[in-house]
């Protein structure tokens, strides 16, 4: 069986498409003589004339018309073979816990400055964290706290500090602290704070526990403050929409809630957002990824995160001691 020369096949198809050997030569970046030689070689391999030579030029022959669709198919198959040999191209899947949080803004900032980046954001829930998505292989990377939670990170997980997001205290206008420009942990101690979602075992629930132990602030969890734990379908049933939670805080003269400075919450006329000082609790986000066969687009993102980490924010902040080894320069 004769092994056909793909360059010769391509010269034949291009000559047919362009109508003249000279035009085909220009498309292929060859001389007209080179195109003629390649077509002559293919004719020799096939044992037929692919063109009828006339006084006005060359026109495809009857044999050439029979060969043409197969020649096109051969070139398409060759192109598909080259594509199949390349690494799989798919979006870089990155998990964040909330589309309104600072980590999601970090990804958007990166994409705005790397227009070639193909990134798919995967949003977690209290019951399906970004760390779980990474460990289960559903995403390539996640922005999350690296310590705490019911599942410790195994070996083979890359970690780089991404950002620390200071906490604010949210109170209603009836709350005794509402008129303050800022508050300290000692100011908050007499008043309980509600942490919706922290009844579910997670790295952020452990953060709340550590903060409560450090500060002496009472942290209430549950579907109702201090009530039974959340259920996975609560949010689907509309029980824990952001507006409903804010309404509950706004109506109370004692209840408060912590929220990171980078969290975009719905505007509420009766909610006041107060900075927390001396110290400022801050939530630590790291970029986590599997070091086994990482996505080809990950190195650029890792470099971006590493270069833009603002460690200076930590100067007056509190974070749990285990996180300091990663976030403290």
- The 10s digit of each residue's pLDDT in 105-122 is 999 999 999 988 899 999
How far apart are alpha carbons 143 and 270 in whole angstroms?
32
Q: Report whether pLDDT(221) > 60.
A: yes
Q: Report whether pLDDT(224) > 90.
A: no
pLDDT at residue 230, rounded to an integer: 77
pLDDT-derived band at 237 (thresholds 50, 70, 90) equals very low
Tens-place pLDDT, residues 183-208: 999 999 999 999 988 998 999 999 99
pLDDT at residue 241, rounded to an integer: 54
* Contact (Cβ atoms closer than 8 angstroms) between residue 305 and residue 162: yes
pLDDT at residue 238, rounded to an integer: 43
How far apart are alpha carbons 308 and 181 in whole angstroms?
30
Tell me which residue of 167, 144, 122, 179 sits closest to 262, measured CA to CA: 167
311 versus 128: the higher-pLDDT residue is: 311
pLDDT at residue 239, rounded to an integer: 42
Tens-place pLDDT, residues 265-282: 989 999 999 999 999 999
How far apart are alpha carbons 106 and 310 in whole angstroms?
12
Strand partners, 220: 194
pLDDT at residue 276, rounded to an integer: 97
Q: Report whether pLDDT(145) > 50.
A: yes
Kindly write down the DSSP assignment for every residue of 111-122, as one continuous string: HHH-TT--EEEE
Report if pTM > 0.85.
no
What is the overall mean pLDDT for the chain? 90
How far apart are alpha carbons 310 and 113 in whole angstroms?
18
């Amino acid at each position: 069986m004769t092994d056909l020369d793909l360059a010769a096949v391509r010269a034949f198809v291009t000559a047919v498409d362009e109508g003249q050997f000279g035009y085909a030569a220009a498309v292929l970046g060859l001389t007209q003589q080179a195109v003629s030689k390649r077509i002559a070689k293919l004719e020799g391999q096939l044992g037929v004339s692919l063109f009828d030579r006339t006084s006005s030029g060359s026109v495809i022959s009857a044999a050439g018309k029979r060969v043409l669709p197969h020649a096109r198919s051969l070139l398409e198959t060759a192109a598909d073979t080259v594509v199949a040999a390349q690494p799989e191209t798919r979006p870089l899947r990155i998990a964040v816990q909330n589309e309104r949080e600072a980590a999601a803004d970090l990804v958007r900032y990166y994409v705005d400055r790397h227009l070639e980046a193909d990134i798919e954001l995967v949003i977690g829930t209290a019951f399906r964290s970004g760390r779980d998505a990474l460990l289960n292989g559903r995403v390539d990377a996640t922005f999350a706290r690296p310590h705490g939670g019911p599942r410790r990170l195994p070996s083979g997980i890359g970690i780089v500090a991404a950002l620390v997001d200071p906490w604010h205290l949210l109170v209603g206008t009836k709350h005794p602290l509402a008129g303050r420009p800022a508050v300290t942990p000692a100011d908050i101690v007499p008043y309980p704070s509600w942490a919706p979602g922290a009844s579910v075992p997670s790295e952020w629930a452990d953060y709340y526990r550590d903060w409560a132990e450090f500060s002496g602030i009472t942290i209430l969890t549950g579907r109702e403050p201090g009530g039974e734990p959340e259920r996975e379908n609560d949010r689907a049933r509309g029980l824990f929409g952001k507006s409903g939670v804010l309404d509950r805080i706004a109506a109370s003269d004692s209840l408060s809630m912590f929220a990171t400075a980078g969290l975009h919450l719905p505007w509420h006329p009766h909610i006041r957002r107060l900075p927390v000082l001396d110290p400022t609790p801050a939530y630590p986000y790291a970029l986590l990824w599997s070091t086994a066969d990482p996505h080809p687009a990950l190195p650029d993102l890792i470099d971006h995160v590493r270069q833009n980490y603002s460690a200076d924010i930590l100067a007056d902040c509190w974070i749990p001691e285990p996180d300091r080894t990663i976030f403290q320069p």
